[in-house]
């Protein structure tokens, strides 16, 4: 599907972005293995989370839709899942595949996980390695590629230093470790999103967190209490609208109910650093997650240098930082972001190639990029989504700044994380 974006000088309005994707996956998974009924509101009903939901249903869990975004999950307990009679399809969702491989490795049955052509190219050895050390039996295509076939069994605990700051990897190991009675210790090289830890603690699991370590305490038969959760808006989805407002000639946007968890809010820090006019209003805690309304106004931006430990706290927003950099005065440099090469597509090369089509001066590094701004952007071009939702949406926001309309090919991929994106963009 093609998405045509016309240039726009004025961005104004109020926006409610959909529920957080990472929290939605975890809510579905943890509610499924809790002992009893959990209630979820604000669940993101996008393809990625629906993949997780369908898989939990195939594993015997009743997930009942009450109204838009509102579900009751009839948790079966950690040992209550049953073997699915077919292959489990994760679609485009790396979070589904990595978290569920952990969970299923310790179940007493056989599972096969697959996904679309993008997911079948993404590295799974990073989870297969440590899970195998815990005693898991996982078979993959050569090089640790999906489909993954898992002969579930009792696992031991593990003490493991993550080679990459990856929330999907640590969550996979924590889910696998839940059924082991032994202690598990995970050491993080840098902070990555901590929703799994927060939610496990809220369900009564004995986790100790501090100084870069997560310790799942030794325990006989662990039990997760059911829970009620109201999922905040996704900061990664809000970031597209924040960028649109900041870079507009006339921009003022209020984004309601957005999660601002420290492990996810690196983007807001960069925006401030670049001189962006952004205010957090009504800061509060909801469902164990810091949440706020965000007021953004168009701003004269200046270039920034981004590298090091902040990278995992803004990893999904880097294409948007590149979009901000196009409007900013000076050279913005992004380094230490080699993880972008193994996302839904190689996001460094996708950003560089598509930006160059619009005449933007952008340099490619193995671990990042540098953008010269401010740039006048030619329009009238057709750009590619690279089968990546965040690339498609970042290009759509960039296209608002061009001289004439831009078309984005393959924009249906946006539905994996943000159904209704184009309509919401139009509304402001
Ligand atoms: C996610 C973690 C991040 C992020 C992805 C969602 C999660 O990936 O890029 O969009 O929900 O745990 P990594 O953990 O692989 O960095």
Kindly give the distance from the C-alpha atom of residue 73 to the centroid of ligand 1, in angstroms, as a whole number: 24
Residue 244, Cβ neighbours under 10 Å: how many? Answer: 25
The pLDDT of residue 415 is 98
In a domain, 245, yes or no: yes
| Same domain assignment for residues 321 and 409 | yes
For residue 231, give the 3-state DSSP assignment. coil
Given the CA of residue 169, which atom of ligand 1 is nearest to it? 14
Residue 287 binned pLDDT confidence (cut-offs 50, 70, 90): confident
The pLDDT tens digits of the residues spanning 226-268 come to: 999 999 999 999 999 999 999 999 999 999 999 999 999 999 9
Kindly give the distance from the C-alpha atom of residue 315 to the centroid of ligand 1, in angstroms, as a whole number: 8
The pLDDT of residue 343 is 98
| Same domain assignment for residues 126 and 271 | no
Q: What are residue 107's phi and psi, to 5 degrees?
A: -90, 155
What positions carry a catalytic annotation?
316
Look at residue 378 and tell me whether its pLDDT is greater than 90: no
- 401: domain CATH number is 3.65.10.10
The pLDDT tens digits of the residues spanning 59-99 come to: 999 999 999 999 999 999 999 999 999 999 999 999 999 99
Out of 216, 245, 265, a domain closes at 216
Counted domains in the chain: 2
In a domain, 223, yes or no: no
In a domain, 221, yes or no: no
Out of 187, 216, 245, a domain closes at 216
C-alpha pair distances (Å), 94 with each of 123, 399, 416: 9, 28, 11
The pLDDT of residue 193 is 98
| Same domain assignment for residues 11 and 39 | no
In a domain, 224, yes or no: no
| Same domain assignment for residues 184 and 248 | no
Work out the average pLDDT over 110-138.
Answer: 98
Q: How far apart are the first and last CA of the chain?
A: 22
Q: What are residue 137's phi and psi, to 5 degrees?
A: -115, 105
In a domain, 225, yes or no: no
| Same domain assignment for residues 280 and 247 | yes
22 touches ligand 1 (CB under 6 Å): yes
| Parent domain of 273 | 3-19+233-427
417 touches ligand 1 (CB under 6 Å): no
| Same domain assignment for residues 59 and 176 | yes
In a domain, 112, yes or no: yes
| Same domain assignment for residues 282 and 351 | yes
| Same domain assignment for residues 14 and 156 | no
In a domain, 226, yes or no: no
SS3 content of the chain, % helix, strand, coil (to 5): 35, 30, 35
The pLDDT of residue 255 is 98
What residue has token string 């924009």? 411
Given the CA of residue 171, which atom of ligand 1 is nearest to it? 12
| Same domain assignment for residues 381 and 274 | yes
The pLDDT of residue 330 is 98
315 touches ligand 1 (CB under 6 Å): yes
The pLDDT of residue 21 is 98
Residue 379 binned pLDDT confidence (cut-offs 50, 70, 90): confident
246 touches ligand 1 (CB under 6 Å): no
For residue 318, give the 3-state DSSP assignment. helix
Average pLDDT over all residues of the chain = 97
| Same domain assignment for residues 288 and 364 | yes
The pLDDT tens digits of the residues spanning 306-317 come to: 999 999 999 999
| Same domain assignment for residues 212 and 93 | yes
Look at residue 363 and tell me whether its pLDDT is greater than 90: yes
| Same domain assignment for residues 174 and 240 | no
Out of 181, 216, 251, a domain closes at 216
Q: pTM for this structure?
A: 0.98
In a domain, 287, yes or no: yes
Kindly give the distance from the C-alpha atom of residue 8 to the centroid of ligand 1, in angstroms, as a whole number: 32
């Amino acid at each position: 599907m093609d998405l045509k974006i016309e240039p726009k000088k004025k961005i104004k309005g109020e926006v409610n972005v959909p529920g957080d994707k990472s929290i939605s996956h975890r809510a579905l998974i943890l509610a499924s293995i809790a002992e009893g009924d959990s209630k979820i509101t604000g669940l993101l009903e996008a393809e990625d989370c629906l993949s997780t939901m369908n898989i939990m249903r195939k594993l015997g869990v009743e997930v009942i839709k009450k109204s838009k975004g509102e579900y009751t999950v009839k948790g079966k307990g950690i040992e209550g899942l049953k073997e699915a009679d077919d292959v489990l399809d994760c679609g485009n969702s790396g979070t589904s595949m990595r978290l569920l491989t952990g969970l299923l490795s310790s179940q007493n049955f056989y599972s096969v996980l697959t996904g679309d052509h993008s997911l079948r190219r993404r590295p799974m050895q990073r989870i297969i390695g440590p899970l195998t050390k815990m005693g898991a039996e996982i078979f993959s295509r050569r090089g640790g590629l999906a489909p993954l076939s898992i002969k579930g069994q009792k696992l031991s605990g593990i003490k493991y230093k993550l080679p990459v700051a990856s929330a999907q990897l640590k969550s996979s190991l924590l889910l696998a470790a839940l059924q082991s009675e032994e202690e598990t210790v995970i050491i993080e090289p840098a902070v990555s999103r901590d929703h799994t830890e927060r939610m496990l603690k809220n369900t009564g699991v004995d986790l100790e967190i501090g100084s870069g370590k997560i310790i799942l305490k030794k325990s006989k038969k662990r039990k997760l209490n059911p829970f009620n959760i109201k999922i905040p808006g996704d900061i990664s989805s809000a970031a597209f609208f924040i960028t649109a407002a900041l870079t507009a000639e006339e921009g003022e946007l209020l984004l309601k109910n957005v999660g601002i968890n420290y492990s996810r809010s690196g983007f807001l820090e960069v925006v401030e650093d670049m001189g962006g006019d952004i205010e957090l209003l009504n800061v509060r805690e909801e469902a164990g997650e810091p949440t706020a309304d965000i007021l953004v106004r168009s701003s004269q931006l200046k270039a920034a240098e981004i590298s090091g430990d902040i990278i995992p706290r803004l990893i999904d927003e880097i294409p948007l930082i590149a979009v901000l950099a196009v409007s900013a005065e000076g050279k913005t440099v992004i380094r230490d972001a080699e993880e972008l090469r193994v996302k839904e597509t190689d996001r460094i090369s996708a950003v560089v190639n598509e930006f160059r089509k619009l005449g933007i001066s952008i340099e490619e590094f193995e671990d990042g990029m540098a953008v010269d701004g401010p740039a006048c952007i030619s329009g009238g071009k057709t750009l590619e989504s690279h089968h990546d939702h965040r690339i498609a949406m970042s290009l759509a926001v960039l296209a608002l700044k061009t001289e004439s309309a831009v078309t984005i090919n393959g924009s249906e991929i946006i539905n994996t994380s943000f159904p209704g994106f184009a309509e919401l963009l139009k509304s402001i």
